[in-house]
Amino acid sequence: MVADSRGQGDSRAARRLNEPRPVHVTVEEGLPAAVGQVGVFQVREEWRVVDRWWTEAPVSRRYFDTVLEDGRCAVVFYDEAGRGWFTQSA
């Protein structure tokens, strides 16, 4: 954990690194077509993560490494347990 440098609060306050953030993803034929308001130029890679299935908080995600039409790269995933799209920076 790293202290949140944006606030004036307690110096011991911490935030998680690389925390997934909700994002609106438009899907066409099962693949991301837009992330936010920016179209997807290319899906470079797709993979699935299934982990902690033996716990009360299993992880089941479908990840996509995309190139957006504005040239940026974005990794997005669909959380199959939570039923939502998220982005996560590396």
pLDDT in tens, 48-77: 999 998 999 889 999 999 999 999 999 999
Does 38 have pLDDT greater than 80? yes
> Environment class of residue 16 by beta-carbon count within 10 Å: exposed (0-12), middle (13-18) or buried (19+)?
exposed
Q: At 40, which helix (H) or strand (E)?
A: strand 38-51
Long-range contacts of 14-21 (CB under 8 A, 24+ apart): 18/88, 18/89, 18/90, 19/88, 20/77, 20/79, 20/86, 20/87, 20/88, 21/86, 21/87, 21/88
